Structure 1
Amino acid sequence: MAQRYVKLSIHGKVQGVGFRYSAIREAQRLGINGWIKNEADGSVSAEAYGEKGAVDEFIKWCWQGPPAAQVRSVEISEELENVEEVDKFNYTKG
């Protein structure tokens, strides 16, 4: 199966609304790996990798987020080099 690795920057009302925890649950449901963290500018950044269809579904989910979120934009950049192996999806404090 084709693999996909993406970096995401999610903007809007995405901090203090359970976005990271909900994203972790969604990533686990989809079977993808990576991490997610809050940024100082109020955005949330994430890296996700796994089966292409699952990563695509995760990106779609990020446009919605949990019920209290108000996502304004999701910036996506693809990176194929220096992918660090991570065996789960979790968050880091940022």
Structure 2
Amino acid sequence: MNGHVPRTTIRVVISGRVQGVWYRGWAVSEASAAGLDGWVRNRSDGTVEAVFSGSSDSVDAMIEACRAGPPAARVTAIERFDDTDPPPIGFRQRPTV
């Protein structure tokens, strides 16, 4: 074994009161601290979309943290999709789509 940890890449769409509550900034901070790669952005329909890539435990923990989000957020649903296209190294905020 070369000690390589398999990477998991998951895309999520988060619904609820998740815009205008510092959700994206919170996600960048949390995901970066967890060593995850990926991105987060607002969508014009009022949801937040994110891609998290890293160890499956770290990705699962981040998705679980997204259920609460920052203090002012009120998450009502998280849709989870497998994503096979790993993002570039690092975690960043992307423009709204």
The TM-score, its normalising length taken from structure 2, stands at: 0.91
Q: CA deviation at 1:84?
A: 4.4
* Residue pair 2:53, 2:86 contacting (<8 A) in 1 also: no
Partner SS for 1:12:
strand
The unaligned stretches of length 5 or more in structure 2 are none
Moved over 3 A (4+): none
- How many Å separate the matches in 1 of 2:58 and 2:33? 9
| 2:81 matches 1:90 | no
Provide the residue aligned with 2:64 in structure 1: 60
Q: CA deviation at 1:85?
A: 4.0
1:25-74 C-alpha deviation (Å, 9 max, x unpaired): 00011100000000001000011101111101100011010000000000
Partner SS for 1:24:
helix
Structure with bigger strand share is 1
Alignment match of 2:9 (pick from 5, 10, 20): 5
Provide the residue aligned with 2:81 in structure 1: 77
Q: How does 1:12-23 map to 2 (within 5 A)?
A: 12-23=16-27
The unaligned stretches of length 5 or more in structure 1 are none
CA pair 9-85 structure 1, distance change in 2 beyond 3 A: closer
| 2:47 matches 1:43 | yes
